[in-house]
Every structure is written in structure tokens, then in C-alpha cells.
Structure 1
Amino acid sequence: MSDSVSSLSVVLKAYGGFDKIQVQSLPYKTVPDDNQVLINVKACGLNFADIYTRQGLVRNEPGPPFTMGLECSGLVVRVGSKVENLKEGDRVMVHTGTPGLQTEFVCVEASDCTVIPESMSFNEAAAFPINYLTAYFCLFDIGNLRSSQTVLIPSAAGGVGWAATQLAKSVPDVRVIGLASPGKHETIRGNGVDVTIDSLDPCWDEAVKIACPEGVDIALDFTSGDNFKRTQNLVKDLGRAILIGANDMISGETLSLWRIFCSWWYSSMVKPIDLVLNSRVVAGFHLTHVKTRLPERYRDALIHLFELYRQNVIRPRIDSTWTFHQVIEATKRLSERENIGKVILTP
């Protein structure tokens, strides 16, 4: 461990645009509490949730300033006196559900850490928890995915979309319809997508209906707003439409009040009579709440995902790696949907 008592960190000074982000050297707690461990961070996953947080769509308590970042990987360099499941030198992934991990050194609860497989790199570990757990719970717990069903995956080239495609194809004879810009179609087909549709086409939903006239069994949605309204209409009887994110509210560097209103308006148009007449399920998902309220289920899912990783059934794709000082460029790549797979930050 460095002799320095400061830790390079990505700090949000106030909610808003990129000008609210600063990279600073901050003092850090070198001695963990009894149930904590000190982590030397090697890689951090960048997520749309980080953009929501910066723009104030997701409010952190207490408010800014605070260190950004919801997931990371690194080395355990010190353990608290009551920690029994971890030791110094362990390679771990960390998912806390609250910001604070885009930093060089950080003390976290030992329960937020998981020892990673020997073959898993730090970049892969930082790309793993949020994307793969989100896809896993949506497909298997809420979606009840079974063989010979059809899954609609928007943003199939993104982190969650990439993970959801691999997990869906782990079930026999599942058909995946993936949305992405045309330049990404060849890559997502290589990941298992059976039918590719241009996500930039204003009539993308009509293309889905042509590809699957009977309707899809599971449809994920990352955007909310009008897209989620259209997504619901693509689901067959006994099908499930699952809302994961609200990317449609993002416009440039700051929140768009008009987009927020439109997103709320269309997402609120879920009519109970339509659900009854179409025997359809409309659901939502929030990973942090599952982690907090159902810790045993969260842990079981992570263990299963590690088994699939060891069997080479699933594998994160790293789109690009950036230093903390390049956080703005990295965020732009994510927000402008240029990535294929996960965007990674490193100290």
C-alpha cells in the first residue's frame, strides 16, 4: 500500500453538468471498522446510474460533495477484527448500492465484497455485478424465462444488454431480438442475438412485430417514456414487460424537464384493464433494493453467475478503459451510446 494518506477520487461537487465533477486527492480511513475491509481499488464500472446521480435524478443522502461510483474491484489490503470471510490479498468485486467507490482506497463493509474467480480480471470484475445481476433478476426471477421463449433486449450492445443476451441464450432454444444501431449489429450477433433491429429507426416496434408477430415473452426496457408504452404492446399474453432504467430522461449534460414530464406521463399510462384483458405483467426492477431487502437471494444469484462465468457461458465485454482524469470523456462515450459492452474507470 502507498505511504500516502490521500486517495485519488472522482468527486461530485453539486448536481448538474460535467463541470460539477472534479478529480481530487482526499484523505481516506486507513483502519477499517470491525466488520469492514480496506480495498485498494483497481477498476470501477461506469453505469447510467452514475449519470442519473450526477444529474440529480437519483439523490444521494447526504448530498454533494461525495465520491462517485457504485461498483469496483480491487485487492483487500487490511481487514477489520471481526471479518472472517476475507483476508489480506484477496481479489474482490465490490457493490455497495451507494456512491463512493471511484477512488484509490476505500473502506467498505465486508458483506459488500465477493472474492472473484482466479481467471477473472479486475476489469471484468468491475463490469460484473450491476450488469449481470440486473439481467439475471429480470430474466429469471421476474421474467421466469423458460426454453423456447422470445426475449426483446433494447440496447443489446450496452452493459446490461450484453449480459442479458448471454444469460437468455443460456436457456435452450431461447430467441433473442436485439436493438442496436446498425454499426453494432455484427457484434451483438456474435454475442448471441438472433434478430437485429435498428434502434435508431422511429418504427423499431413495427420491425419487432414483423420479426415476432405473436409477440415476445419478455421485453426489457431501459428508457421509460413512450418507448415503454410501445414495449408493453409487443408483449404477448402471459408475457412480461420489465422497466429497468430511465435513460430517456437524459438530454445532454443535465436533466431535461420536458423529457422527465414525457417519461412520467407515458410510463404512468399503465391501465389495469389492459393488463387484465391481455393477461400481461408490467414490472419494474431496482437492484439496490433487492440487495438490501433480499440479501440471501442476491448472494445466491451472484454464486450462480460465478458458476456460469467459470463454465464460460457468460463473459463481460470491456468496451474501453479510462483513467479517473478521463471521467468526462468516458461518461460521454456511455451517454452518447458509443460503447459496446462496459466502460471502465481506473485510478
Structure 2
Amino acid sequence: MRAVVVETPGELEQLKLTQNVEMPTVGENDVLVRIAYAGLNFMEVLIRRGDYLRNPKYPLILGSEASGIVEQVGANVKDFKPGDRVAVLSGDRGCYAEYVCVDETHVVPIPAEMELRTAAAYPLQVLTAWGILFASARIREGDWVLVHACAGGVGLALVQMARIAGCQVIGTTSSEDKAALAREMGCHHVINYTQQDFGREVRKIVPEGVNIICDSVGKVNVIGNLRSIANFGLIVVFGYASGEPKYDEKLLWGRSCGITMNGLYHLVPHRTEFNRAVRETTQWILEGRLNLHIGQEYDLADVQEAHRQLEGRQSQGKLLLRINSELK
């Protein structure tokens, strides 16, 4: 099969399209999926560069999420069969390829009304956003929510879900184009952090501070987050694009606020909550309340350019790789 292989960590040239990669082996609890589209995520930039918190073994196939058609199932798999349309969570590797094999608990059925193109933008970012707001933060109607990188894939999902929950939403981004997109998706207030101190601007909008901060940026946001958070508020960290954040406990105590980390793969084993997340978010998409904004698509051979856009923060919404896009 064709796949994008990273032999050793490094720059864009480490993304190598390889033609004759060995097919994955299907275990008794596994589902083999022929991939239509793969989603791109900043986590994959970190893995490619060797900057990821966990230390993966190289060489590896990048890719964390995809959509496609079930090709084969293991002997113990009961909920999926060949021909099913699905979305896939593959951990931190495997989806920049024509096929991926994952445990059945990491496979999500896709309704007939949802295109596979849309489904590729769904599993990692949408379910991550749900977990941040409803599992970690347990948001309530009327809360003020600050979303960093609000025009990215997770950011746009956070904005829309917070609105669905009846919250007031402030977003930060780096350009007017991105700000316009965030407003279009329902963000009440957008701050351009390249021109304004977001911590001070937040306090102008809501003097008592925000209840929840959703932060995938990390290190450079620490001071601004502490300025922005309300007493008894919660900072949810789910990424570190600018480096690992370090919060002084004394400063957190000064706000009586908390900080937590959120990772989607802690939600997956909690099947009641995970199934609720899938059920609610799928329904919101079908109802048109949750719009998965797809920014650009790239052929698998153009993966270096896709990473260039993602790494340079030039993208809006979700980026996809077309792999077997003829699949329906």
C-alpha cells in the first residue's frame, strides 16, 4: 500500500510517500479500514519534528484520524462488518496511508447522510472539543468561554459547541480573515493576539474574567490566561503548539482557579460518555448546528505542502488528505 513514512524526525523533507509499505495485520479485536480521507492535526507536525511529549518509535506512518470503508474485521468484532462507512481514531500514527488497522473501540459508525469527506474532519477534533467542554470543564449555560486558536479545527468546534450549550464565547486568532471565520461560526468576540494583549482585552469584555479557557497553544499564553481567568475558573490545556506551559501554583492559588489537561484517548474507554459524545455531535452535524469547516484538501503526494500550511499557521478550519476519495 501507499503511505507517508517518517524515517527519522525532522523537517518537511522527512515526509516521504512510499509505494510498497506492508499492509497492517488484523488482530482478533481489530478493524481494517480502506481510507478515503485523512485529517491533518498539529500533533502530527510535532511528531514529525520530534517535539511530541511521548517518544514514538521511528520509522512510522503519521496520521491520527480518517474516514473510509471497513475492509476486514477480526474474529471478535461484532459491531462492524466489511462495507460499513466509518471514521477512525488511530492514536498518533497510521492514517496517512491507504489502509489503517485499529481496535474496534476506536471506530465510529458514520450515518448515511454524512459524506466521507465530512467524516474525516469529525473524529479527533470534534470529539476532543466535546470532551474539553462537557467532560473536563462541565460547562453550564451562561458561562464565559475563551477559545484560543478559534479558527482552527478544534477551535471552531469549541466555539460552536459552547454556543449550543448557551455560553458566551471569546476567541483569539492571528488575522482578520480567521477572525471573520470565527465570527461566522458564532464567536461573540474575537481578539487578534498579534495586535492586542488578549488578557487585558478579555477583562474589558468581561471584567470578572472567563469561567473556562480552552488552550492548545501552551507556553506563550500562560500570563494572558492567568489575567483572563475568573476566580474558581478552569484552564483546560489540550495542546502546546508554542511549547509546554508551566503554571506557578502560587499564581493559580491567587485566582482560586484550576488547570487540567485533556486528551481524547482518556474519553474513549469511558464508553457511556464516549457514546454520548458520538451521539450528540453526530446529531448536531446532521441538524446543521455544528458545521465542520474544511479549509483545504491535498493529494497524498502533496503532504509536505499540507504540513507547511499547518505548521505556518496559515490554515483555516480542517485540512484533509485525499487518499481514496472515490469511495462513497
Q: What runs of 5+ residues in structure 2 fail to find an aligned partner?
A: 324-328
Q: Which aligned pairs between 1:258-269 and structure 2 lie closer than 5 A?
A: 263=244, 267-269=245-247
Deviations 1:291-325 (A, max 9, x none): 3x534433332222222223222121100100111
Describe the SS at the equivalent of 1:330: helix
Q: 1:339 to 1:62 in 2, by over 3 A?
A: closer
Counterpart check, 1:189 vs 2:183: yes
Counterpart check, 1:213 vs 2:207: yes
* Counterpart among 172, 184, 206 of residue 179 in structure 1: 172
> Would the aligned equivalents of 1:13 and 1:20 in 2 still touch at CA under 8 Å?
yes
Hey, what's the Cα distance between the residues in 2 that align with 1:285 and 1:39? Answer: 27
* Counterpart among 84, 107, 110 of residue 116 in structure 1: 110
* Counterpart among 314, 322, 325 of residue 346 in structure 1: 322
Counterpart check, 1:300 vs 2:276: yes
Q: Which aligned pairs between 1:3-42 and structure 2 lie closer than 5 A?
A: 7-29=1-23, 32-42=26-36
> Would the aligned equivalents of 1:221 and 1:228 in 2 still touch at CA under 8 Å?
no
TM-score when scaled to structure 1?
0.87
Describe the SS at the equivalent of 1:247: coil
Counterpart check, 1:321 vs 2:297: yes
Percent same amino acid at aligned positions? 28
Give the deviation of 1:326 after TM superposition: 0.6
Hey, what's the Cα distance between the residues in 1 that align with 2:24 and 2:89? Answer: 20
Match of 1:333 in 2: 309
Give the deviation of 1:209 after TM superposition: 1.8
Counterpart check, 1:68 vs 2:62: yes
Hey, what's the Cα distance between the residues in 1 that align with 2:91 and 2:24? Answer: 22
Q: Which aligned pairs between 1:73-92 and structure 2 lie closer than 5 A?
A: 73-92=67-86
> Would the aligned equivalents of 1:29 and 1:107 in 2 still touch at CA under 8 Å?
no
Q: What runs of 5+ residues in structure 1 fail to find an aligned partner?
A: 1-6, 250-262
Hey, what's the Cα distance between the residues in 2 that align with 1:230 and 1:31? Answer: 47
Q: Which aligned pairs between 1:39-50 and structure 2 lie closer than 5 A?
A: 39-50=33-44
Give the deviation of 1:62 after TM superposition: 5.7
TM-score when scaled to structure 2?
0.92
> Would the aligned equivalents of 2:8 and 2:14 in 1 still touch at CA under 8 Å?
yes
Match of 2:326 in 1: none
Hey, what's the Cα distance between the residues in 2 that align with 1:11 and 1:295? Answer: 32
Q: 1:43 to 1:195 in 2, by over 3 A?
A: same
Q: 1:25 to 1:295 in 2, by over 3 A?
A: farther
Describe the SS at the equivalent of 2:47: helix
Give the deviation of 1:237 after TM superposition: 1.3
Match of 1:151 in 2: 145
Two-structure CA RMSD over aligned residues (Å)? 1.9
Counterpart check, 1:278 vs 2:255: yes
> Would the aligned equivalents of 1:31 and 1:78 in 2 still touch at CA under 8 Å?
no
Match of 1:142 in 2: 136
Match of 1:309 in 2: 285
Give the deviation of 1:61 after TM superposition: 6.4
